C-alpha cells in the first residue's frame, strides 16, 4: 500500500509541476536568472519534469489508459521524427538541430498538457492560472501604452522613436503579443455566453476592452483579421448549441460585449477612443489601403511577405517537396536576390511547408482541421459547462489563428500556440473519455 501511495504522490507531483510550468512558459525569459535570460523558470521546470517523467516510465513502463487522442499525438511524434530524419539533407545542420530541439520541446509541451489535464477540475484550475497570467500581460501592455514603462525583455528598448508607440508586454516584439491576445481574447468573449454571474460578465467585459486597446497598440493587422474570424465562430457555436435562444440573457449580454469590443477596435483605429487614443503614427500603421501599393511595389510589410512566400515555394520545389530540413528555410532564402537579410519566414503555414515538406504539411493540415472539428463538436454537444466553455473558446481562437499565425516571425518557440494545441487535445480527450464512460 505504501508503494502505491508514493506512486500516486509522484504522479501528482509531476502533474502539478507541469501545470505550474504552463504559466511560466508564457512569461518566458521575463522570469529568468538576471543576466542569463536563457535560464528561465520555464526551462528549469521543463528539464526537471523531463527527468521525473523519464524516471517514472523506467520504473513503471506503462502509458495512461485514458488517452483518447492517440492519433493526434502520433502526428506530433511523426513530425519530430521527420525533422530528425531531414537533418541528413539539411544544408545548415546547426540551425536544423536547434530547430529540432525546439520542436521536440514544444511538441512535448502539448503532449504533456493532455497528460496533466486529466479532469474537468484540473482544466478549470489551469484555465484560471493562464487567464490570470493573461490579465497581468494586458495590465503590463496598458502600462506601456500609458507611460514609458518597458520590461527589460522588450525588443523595442533602444529602437527608433517611430516604433516606441507600440507595446510588447512579456514578449520580445509587438507581433507576438498581438497573437497572444488573439489566442486568449476568445476566453473573455465566450464567458458572457456561459454565465449569468454579473461580476464575471463585468470582469470579462472590462478585460476584453483593455485587451482590444492593447491589440490596437501592437498594430498587427493579421490579428485584426483573426478577431474578425472569431466573432462569427462564437456566434455560430452559440446558435447551434441546444438550449440557447435569442431571448436568452447570456446570448444578449455576450453579443453586446462582442460587438462592443468590435466597435472599440474600429473607433480605436481612428484614434476616436476617449481612453488611450492611438498616436498619429499608430493610426497610420492601421491603414489597409497601403497593402495593395506595398504588394505591387514589393516593399513594406505586404511586399516583403509576398517575396518570402514566392521564395519559399521555389525553395520547396528545389527540395523535391520533401522540405529543406528543420530551420533551414531562411538559409536557402538568403541565397536569393533581395532576401539576403531574411531571418524568418513570418508565416507559420509556410514555415511548416518549406521546412517539413508536403508530408508534414498535409499532416499538419489534417491535425489542425481535426482539432477544429472536434472542438466544435465539444462546444455544441458537451453537457459539462467547463468543457463546453473551453471548447468554444479554443475553437474560436484556432479559427482566428489561421490568420493570426501569419504574425509571429516564427512560431516554433511561440509557447502560447503549443499550449493552445495541448489544451485543445486535453478538452477533446476529456470529452471522449466521458463518452466512453457513458457507453460502458
Q: Given a cut of 70, is residue 294 above it in pLDDT?
A: no
At 194-220, the pLDDT tens digits run: 888 899 999 999 999 999 999 999 999
Q: Given a cut of 80, is residue 338 above it in pLDDT?
A: no
Is 245 exposed, middle or buried, given 0-12, 13-18 or 19+ CB atoms closer than 10 A?
exposed
pTM value is 0.94
Is 30 exposed, middle or buried, given 0-12, 13-18 or 19+ CB atoms closer than 10 A?
buried
Which segments of 87-220 does DSSP mark as H helices, in order?
93-116, 120-146, 174-194, 198-216
Instruction: Tell me the residue length of the chain.
Output: 440
Q: What is the pLDDT of residue 3?
A: 47
Residues 6+ positions from 204 with CB-CB distance below 8 Å: 188, 189, 191, 192, 257
Within 10 angstroms of residue 270's Cβ, the number of other Cβ atoms is 11
Residue 405's Cα: distance from chain center in Å?
Answer: 8
Q: What is the pLDDT of residue 230?
A: 95
Within 10 angstroms of residue 210's Cβ, the number of other Cβ atoms is 20
β-bridge mates for residue 33, sequence order: 36
Which of the four pLDDT bands, split at 50, 70 and 90, describes residue 154? Answer: very high
In the chain, what's the furthest Cα-to-Cα distance? 73
Q: Given a cut of 70, is residue 97 above it in pLDDT?
A: yes
At 300-312, the pLDDT tens digits run: 666 778 888 888 9
Residues 6+ positions from 217 with CB-CB distance below 8 Å: 141, 144, 145, 165, 166, 167, 174, 276, 278, 282
pLDDT (mean) for 206-235: 95
At 157-198, the pLDDT tens digits run: 988 888 899 999 999 999 999 999 999 999 999 999 988 889
Amino acid at each position: 500500500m505504501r508503494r502505491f501511495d508514493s506512486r500516486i504522490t509522484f504522479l501528482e507531483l509531476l502533474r502539478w509541476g507541469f501545470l505550474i510550468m504552463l504559466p511560466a512558459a508564457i512569461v518566458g525569459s521575463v522570469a529568468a536568472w538576471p543576466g542569463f535570460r536563457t535560464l528561465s523558470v520555464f526551462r528549469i521546470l521543463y528539464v526537471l519534469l523531463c527527468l521525473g517523467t523519464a524516471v517514472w516510465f523506467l520504473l513503471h513502463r506503462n502509458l495512461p489508459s485514458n488517452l483518447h487522442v492517440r492519433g493526434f499525438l502520433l502526428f506530433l511524434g511523426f513530425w519530430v521524427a521527420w525533422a530528425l530524419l531531414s537533418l541528413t539533407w539539411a544544408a545548415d545542420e546547426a540551425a536544423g538541430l536547434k530547430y529540432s530541439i525546439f520542436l521536440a520541446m514544444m511538441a512535448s509541451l502539448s503532449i504533456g498538457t493532455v497528460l496533466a489535464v486529466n479532469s474537468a477540475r484540473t482544466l478549470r484550475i489551469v484555465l484560471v492560472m493562464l487567464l490570470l497570467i493573461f490579465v497581468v500581460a494586458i495590465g503590463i501592455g496598458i502600462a506601456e501604452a500609458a507611460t514609458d514603462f518597458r520590461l527589460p525583455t522588450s525588443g523595442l528598448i533602444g529602437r527608433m522613436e517611430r516604433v516606441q508607440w507600440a507595446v510588447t508586454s512579456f514578449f520580445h516584439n509587438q507581433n507576438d503579443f498581438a497573437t497572444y491576445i488573439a489566442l486568449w481574447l476568445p476566453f473573455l468573449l465566450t464567458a458572457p455566453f456561459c454565465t449569468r454571474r454579473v461580476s464575471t460578465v463585468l470582469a470579462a467585459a472590462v478585460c476584453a476592452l483593455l485587451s482590444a486597446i492593447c491589440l490596437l497598440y501592437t498594430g498587427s493587422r493579421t490579428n485584426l483579421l483573426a478577431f474578425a474570424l472569431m466573432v462569427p465562430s462564437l456566434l455560430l457555436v452559440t446558435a447551434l448549441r441546444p438550449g440557447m435562444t435569442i431571448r436568452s440573457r447570456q446570448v444578449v449580454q455576450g453579443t453586446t460585449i462582442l460587438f462592443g469590443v468590435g466597435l472599440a477596435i474600429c473607433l480605436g483605429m481612428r484614434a476616436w477612443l476617449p481612453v488611450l487614443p492611438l498616436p498619429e503614427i499608430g493610426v497610420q500603421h492601421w491603414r489597409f489601403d497601403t497593402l495593395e501599393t506595398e504588394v505591387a511595389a514589393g516593399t513594406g510589410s505586404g511586399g516583403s511577405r509576398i517575396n518570402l512566400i514566392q521564395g519559399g515555394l521555389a525553395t520547396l520545389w528545389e527540395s523535391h517537396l520533401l522540405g529543406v530540413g528543420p530551420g533551414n528555410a531562411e538559409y536557402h532564402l538568403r541565397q536569393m536576390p533581395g532576401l539576403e537579410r531574411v531571418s524568418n519566414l513570418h508565416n507559420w503555414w509556410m514555415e511548416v511547408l518549406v521546412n517539413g515538406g508536403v508530408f508534414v504539411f498535409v499532416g499538419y493540415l489534417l491535425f489542425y482541421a481535426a482539432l477544429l472539428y472536434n472542438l466544435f463538436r465539444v462546444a455544441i454537444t458537451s453537457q459539462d459547462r467547463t468543457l463546453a466553455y473551453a471548447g468554444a473558446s479554443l475553437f474560436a481562437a484556432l479559427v482566428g489563428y489561421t490568420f493570426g499565425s501569419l504574425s509571429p516571425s516564427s512560431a516554433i518557440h511561440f509557447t502560447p500556440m503549443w499550449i493552445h494545441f495541448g489544451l485543445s487535445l486535453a478538452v477533446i480527450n476529456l470529452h471522449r473519455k466521458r463518452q466512453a464512460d457513458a457507453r460502458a
